[in-house]
Structure 1
Amino acid sequence: MKQLKIVKKAALSTALLFGLLAPQAAVFGETSPQPENPSNRGIHVQLLGVNDFHGQIDNYRTVNGKQVGGAEYLAAYIKKYKKQNKNTLTVSAGDTVGASSPTSALLQDEPTIRIFNKIGFDVSTIGNHEFDEGVPEMKRLIYGGNHPATGNFEGADFPYVCANAIDQKNGKPILPPFFIKKVNGMPIGFIGVVTQETKKTVMPTMLKGVEITDEVQAINKYAKLLKAHGVKSIVVLAHNPASSNPDGTNPQGDAVNIANNADDEVDVIFAGHNHAYANTTVDNKLIVQGYSYGTAFTDVDLEIDPKTKDIVKKSGQVITTFHDGIKPDQEVKAMVDKYKEEVAPKINKQIGEAKEAITGTPDASGESALGNFIADAQRVAMGSDFAFMNPGGIRADLNAGTITWGNLFSIQPFNNTLTKMTLTGAQIKAVLEQQFIDNNKKILQVSGLKVTWDQNAPVGQKMIKLTDSAGNDIAPDKEYTVTVNSFLASGGDGFTKFTEGKNQIAGPVDLDALVKYIQDKNAPISAPPTDRIDVQ
């Protein structure tokens, strides 16, 4: 009955069902009736897209010296653009939640879903971060349900679709693979897919029983089905990376491969995952992506031939959500303020002071001061010889001045536990070589170790010198103790060598270790030097 809930909650006026109660259900919806369009004129439809919002409901950022972002400003922009065309649908390309602001995360990301309900989203796909707390919690946010920490939650007012996240038990998608919305009688099909990188970026326990299959095969399977039912206007919501130059040249990323190989009836691809700019056309398919965190959104304008029901014209632009010149949406602002007040006692707790900003921005070698600081905290917490920290787990910088618990949560929001293990020197070298497999290039931040790597050496032979902090060579056959977070310990980000670690001991949550490390210093902290990784 969960799929029926989608129809009711989205207030759809019609529902044509292809086996609605099955996971592969498709749902039809109709926008409010509009004046009939003369048959010789196209129907103009506007699609407003958001990707990688990551629950940043109360966080602002700076672009060109101006403030951007924040849920109340994103809402104001979308409301403004909706007024330009009554035939407007609002879509999301995944990672709506996960790695969220504590104002959302501490309330199980329910605030973000409620705000997206208020804005009036029409359809979304999932990203890898929707899996952060496992499939049951992902479905609770979508369909509603009870959580011990927050009580009952009503769920999303809009459907989620994903064609390539497959239940291994029955071979069917865990969510409806597509959604059909009628606009002035013109059916538009939305197919969702999530990157296969999800298998590397999510802890295996959270993906238990789920297989992420080839995106193109999934798109083409359901595009064929849509075409068979007369749907000629097809949009893909792909949580897959894309980028381009501002003029559309130099298209890059997995979305380009999808465009080149997807069914020709696909007209538009909303991309995501790499938080980049994209506005380009590949194989007559428009690819767009609007950075991340609500700092921008994408505006796609379509013209549909009412006779053929096909998209005959399409164009896109990326709109930055500058605060200048627009007033925040007051309803959404009130919601954000309420949630901020609810979590304020915890996030405002003072932990320490920082003499200077400590950033996670890497230098040419891949090393960052904040990465070093976090790795040091983890090594101290577990009393190990070395520690490794994945850069993707560092989600914000540490500003100068008062350090609050909320600041530190924004930096490390994943609630990973620390794991101490034993590895040989040869295994440590093998771990570091995995930084470059499959063009991975995710440089681990280190503590207690000094690394020199050769950017011109072939994959598997890039590590040319490993020493401890005292300058002693790391012996291949000697055993060392190593601390990593539970994500890395399970082989996350492709670092499968960590799964070979012996004598594994569980430790505290990574955030708690960072809090204690700062508190124990009992003095303002400074950025550690970035002298641990060298590239030649």
Structure 2
Amino acid sequence: MRRRSESGAGRAAGRGGLLAAILAVAVLAGCVPAPAAAPAPDAPVRLRVVHTNDFHGRLLPQDPPWAEGRGVGGSAVLAAHFDSARARFGGPTIVLSGGDDYQGTAISNMSWGRATVAVMNAKRYDAAALGNHEFDWGMDTLRARMRDERFPRMGANVYRTGTREHPDWVRPWAMIERAGIRAAVIGIALPSTPQVVMAGRIQGIEFGPEAEAIDRYAREARAAGADFVVVTMHVGAVCEERGEAPEEESRGCRGSMIEVAEALTEPVDLIVGGHTHQRVLTTAGGIPVTETAPYSVEYTVTDLERQGDSTVVLHRAVRTSWAHEVDTDTAVARIVEEWDEVVRPRAERVVIEFADAMPRRGAEHALGNLLADAYRFASGAQVGLVNNGGIRRDMPAGPITYGMLYELHPFQNELVTVQLTGAQLRAALETAINAEGRTNAHISGMQVRYDPGAPAGSRIREIRLDGNRILRDTDPVTLGTTDFVATGGDRFDALLQGQMTGTGLEYLDAIVAELQTLPQPIAPPAVGRWVPLP
């Protein structure tokens, strides 16, 4: 029977029982003499940690191009891989999530995350971090889903505004006891959540530094008798060389997860991450850190051994959840089927057709331009803008279902217009050029000429509207976008200077209706709306 406890008692008893069992077997076998009066040193204890991140509601099997038609991912397959990982290890195993689990598909979103919670419970997750997308439907819905979960979803750096006290519904850490081994798991939310979630959905809370919270609760966990301290965080990294073989180390890794590991002053045994959707298998600050690709197609396995004050990694790998390697978990498959039956009639309805595949490749691509056009025309605005973070999947050629478009644009925002001056639009577009001079938004109804090497805030040289008219700073202009972007999401704070007006249209439905007015199959629009100057 699995037990969870937050008390500190029992560590010595757990280790003592294990040592007694080992010695009893050895004596019966005639291999060792009876123990001397002096106490023996602590026997080594082992723990396997299985981890996923950024599940984004992918309950159904996935078909990424790199799989070449072979089945991969989905909840029933992933659950079978978890069971296999538990059985192969033969010792205490915990399963963790790095967050962003609910949001992203028709089957999950149309159930407000209930379907995802049902399968995570069935897959026997032990703990999860709060991802930024867990807040997308507001805290009331999030709290309801957390009550449904049979495991803690945690945020040690989530506080009541202006304090270092946690809301009563947020746990910072949990002690998981398995076969006499005590594993403390600390959960960490994304500190920049306020930049990627609408302000009204996180009122009354703030997000603090990761390292400060980890150090605080690592001390508390060790004092409570933890054999292992593991951090699951919705914070990630990117690597120049990701590594291809399961056990191959990633190289050239950078990002917040690496910085946090290097900043810690208290020892932790493992950090598992998320958010950046990258394969990461490396070490930082002497701590093993891992992350996986999103959407249920990968999971990590890390085996730890601790003796005294020393922890070593016995084995770790990033594994692909191939369907052919396991027998599908039929119980989880039934749960998925029950939820899928509810949404399937709508999700599988073909609504449009694409003449060519539209991948998200390069800073500017046809898919982003098509969405920006749809924003513009559906809202009746002069120009349109789509943040790249809202474009969630590539699109194939051929018939396109409503469910596929839901995965492309899953966030249930409202389409709005924002009345701006030319200067205010220019300031917003400056935000869309990152520190490396790369654009991170798609536009419609205008062409923007910019100098990627110029100082931030002064890169845009000219904005030309359709018809080749140069937009002056004093000219009025109306922008079509989402309420998320219009209220400062993805750091588009400059749009707060304008006058926002709601259209009453849910943005995905508005996009579908607009795309259905185009000749079918829809041809990819041309690129060249952002023009970098030499």
- Mapping of 1:464-479 within 5 angstroms? 464-479=461-476
Paired position in structure 2 for 1:149: none
Other-structure match for 1:166: 159
C-alpha distance in 2, partners of 1:333/1:354? 31
- More deviation in 103-112 or 65-74? 65-74
Q: For the residues of structure 1 that align with 2:374 and 2:531, how far apart are their CA atoms?
A: 22
Amino acid at match of 2:317: Q
2:99 to 94, 102, 106: 94
Query: In the TM superposition, what are the counterparts of 1:356-367 in structure 2 within 5 Å?
Result: 356-359=356-359, 361-363=360-362, 366-367=363-364
AA in 1 matched with 2:204: G
1:187–1:309 contact (8 Å) kept in structure 2: no
1:161 partner letter: M
Q: Deviations over 1:46-100 (max 9, x none)?
A: 10001111111114033353442211111111111110123111111111111x2
Larger deviation: 473-482 or 435-444? 435-444
Give the corresponding residue for 1:6.
Answer: none
In 2, the alpha carbon distance for the partners of 1:173 and 1:212 equals 10
- Say whether the 8 Å CA contact 2:106–2:407 is kept in structure 1: yes
Equivalent residue letter for 2:418 = M
Match of 1:77 in 2: 81
Larger radius of gyration: 2
SS where residue 61 of structure 1 aligns? coil
Taking the aligned partners of 2:174 and 2:4, their CA distance within structure 1 comes to 14
1:275 pairs with 232, 253, 277, which one? 277
1:52-201 residue pairs with structure 2 within 5 A?
52-62=54-64, 63=66, 65=68, 66-85=70-89, 86-98=91-103, 100-143=104-147, 155-168=148-161, 171-174=164-167, 175-201=170-196
Which moved further from structure 2: 48-57 or 520-529? 520-529
Aligned partner of residue 251 in structure 1, secondary structure = strand
Once the two structures are TM-superposed, the CA of residue 485 in structure 1 deviates from its matched residue by 0.4
Runs of 4 or more off by more than 6 Å in structure 1? none
Aligned match of 2:215: 220
The one-letter code sitting in structure 1 at the alignment partner of 2:238 is: S
Amino acid at match of 2:443: V
- Deviation of residue 534 (structure 1)? 2.1
The change in CA–CA distance for 1:402 and 1:249 in structure 2 (over 3 A counts) is closer
Is 2:531 aligned against 1:531? no
Summarize the alignment of residues 130-529 of structure 1 with structure 2, pairs less than 5 Å apart: 130-143=134-147, 155-168=148-161, 171-174=164-167, 175-231=170-226, 233-244=228-239, 245=241, 246=243, 247-305=249-307, 308=308, 311-313=311-313, 315-359=315-359, 361-363=360-362, 366-436=363-433, 443-502=440-499, 504-521=501-518, 523-529=520-526
- Corresponding letter in the other structure for 1:448: G
Residue type of the alignment partner of 2:237: A
1:518 CA displacement: 2.1
**1:12 corresponds to:** 3
Unaligned runs of 5+ in 2: 24-40, 244-248
* Deviations, residues 428-473 of structure 1 (Å, cap 9, x unaligned): 1111111246679552111101112222222112212321122221
Cα offset, 1:500, TM superposition: 0.9
Query: Per the alignment, do residues 283 and 332 of structure 1 end up closer, same or farther by CA in structure 2, a change over 3 Å counting?
Result: same
Query: Whole-Å Cα distance in 2 between the matches of residues 535 and 362 of structure 1?
Result: 17
Name the amino acid aligned to 1:395.
R
SS in structure 2 of the partner of residue 68 of structure 1: coil
Q: How far does residue 353 in structure 1 lie from its aligned partner after superposition?
A: 2.3
Alignment: residue pair count: 498
Q: Which string of whole-angstrom CA distances, capped at 9 and with x for unpartnered residues, describes residues 227-262 of structure 1?
A: 333335211111101233323331211011111111
2:472 is paired with a residue of what secondary structure?
Answer: coil
Distance 1:11 1:137 in 2: 28
Partner Cα separation in structure 1 for residue 100 and residue 140 of structure 2: 16
The alpha-carbon deviation at position 316 of structure 1 amounts to: 2.0
Identical pairs, percent: 27
Residues 1:314 and 1:206: Cα distance change in structure 2 (over 3 Å)? farther
- What's 2:35 paired with? none
Q: CA deviation at 1:294?
A: 0.8
Partner Cα separation in structure 1 for residue 477 and residue 336 of structure 2 = 47
The CA distance in 1 between the partners of 2:346 and 2:125, in whole Å, is 31
Q: Secondary structure at the match of 1:521?
A: coil
CA RMSD of aligned residues (A): 2.4
- Tell me by how many angstroms 1:368 deviates: 1.6
Query: Contact (CA 8 Å) 1:243, 1:289: kept in 2 or not?
Result: no
Question: How far off its partner does 1:265 sit?
Answer: 1.4
Corresponding position of 1:147: none
- The SS at the match of 2:252 is coil
Distance 2:510 2:481 in 1: 12
The whole-number CA distance in structure 1 between the counterparts of 2:516 and 2:238 is 41
Q: Cα–Cα, structure 1 residues 392 and 59, in superposed 2: closer, same or farther, change >3 Å?
A: farther
**Contact 1:189–1:235 under 8 Å retained in 2:** yes
- TM-score between both structures, scaled by the size of structure 2: 0.88
Match of 1:3 in 2: none
Supply the distance in 1 between the matched residues of 2:373 and 2:73 (Cα, whole angstroms): 32
- Alpha-carbon contact 1:425-1:475 (below 8 Å) kept: yes
Contact 1:288 1:316 in 2 (8 A): no
Q: Return 436-445 or 183-192, whichever deviates more.
A: 436-445
